[in-house]
Amino acid sequence: MAQKDKIKWNKKYKETPSLLEKKEPSKKLTQILHKVKGKKALDVASGAGRNSIYLALNGFEVEAIDISQIALDELDKKAFQNITCKLVDLDEYEVPKNSYDLIIMANFLDRDLIPKLSAGLKKGGILFIETYMHDKINEKPPSNPDFLLQKDELKSFFDNQFEILDYDEFENEDYELFRMKKQSIEIKKL
């Protein structure tokens, strides 16, 4: 287990319970659902599951995976029949191959994981990633600059077995605590 991540995130959720409160889903995610052909989804580093909940309400069977039991308990409490919560360490987790119609990873960055997520898609499946990037507007960059993407970086992970459906760099949504620049990509496995 990435014991350090587990301790860090459980501490954050304990000290700042507002992180567990019901939040809006990613706006970009809400705009792409109509392109997804099937209903099996994976929410990577789900936290308390704002995006899992949105997917469940839209008829998806969702696996929500995270290293924080506190965050997963909060999601479990909501008792959605079509969300399965799994406590996993993404440093070690083997994503099942060719299994999902939709995989999402929001506000979390693990570069080594991206090829595993691509492999987890069924043919025609969609991977959506959205997280923070370096920019001078950032009001609160993380302590570790490696957790921020470089300009255009998300595009560099995909070869011609994938089609890029959308790529964007944009300012985060108003409900987030600090103004930050984000990057998103939506790719389809061919």
Ligand X SMILES: C[S@@+](CC[C@H](N)C(=O)[O-])C[C@H]1O[C@@H](n2cnc3c(N)ncnc32)[C@H](O)[C@@H]1O
Least separation in angstroms between CB 15 and ligand X: 14
Q: Which is nearer to ligand X, 51 or 118 (CB)?
A: 51
Q: Which is nearer to ligand X, 159 or 174 (CB)?
A: 174
Within 68-127, the residues that bind ligand X by CB under 6 A are: 68, 71, 88-91, 106-108
Q: Which of 63, 80, 70, 16 is nearest to 48 (CA)?
A: 70
Binding residues for ligand X, total number by CB under 6 A:
19
> Helix/strand/coil (H, E, C) string of 18-69?
HHHCCCCCCHHHHHHHHHCCCCEEEEECCCCCHHHHHHHHCCCEEEEEECCH
Q: State the chain's maximal CA–CA distance in angstroms.
A: 44
Least separation in angstroms between CB 46 and ligand X: 5
Q: Which is nearer to ligand X, 107 or 138 (CB)?
A: 107
Amino acid at 127: L
Within 142-181, the residues that bind ligand X by CB under 6 A are: none
Least separation in angstroms between CB 168 and ligand X: 16
> Helix/strand/coil (H, E, C) string of 20-33?
HCCCCCCHHHHHHH
Contacts of 138 (CB under 8 A, 6+ apart): 132, 148, 178, 179, 180, 181
Contact string (CB under 6 A) for ligand X, positions 26-45, x = contact:
-------------------x
Give the 3-state secondary structure of residue 184: strand
Least separation in angstroms between CB 108 and ligand X: 4
Question: What would the two tokens of residue 28 be?
Answer: 């970009």
Least separation in angstroms between CB 161 and ligand X: 26
- Binding-site ranges for ligand X (CB under 6 A): 2, 5, 9, 45-47, 50-51, 66-68, 71, 88-91, 106-108
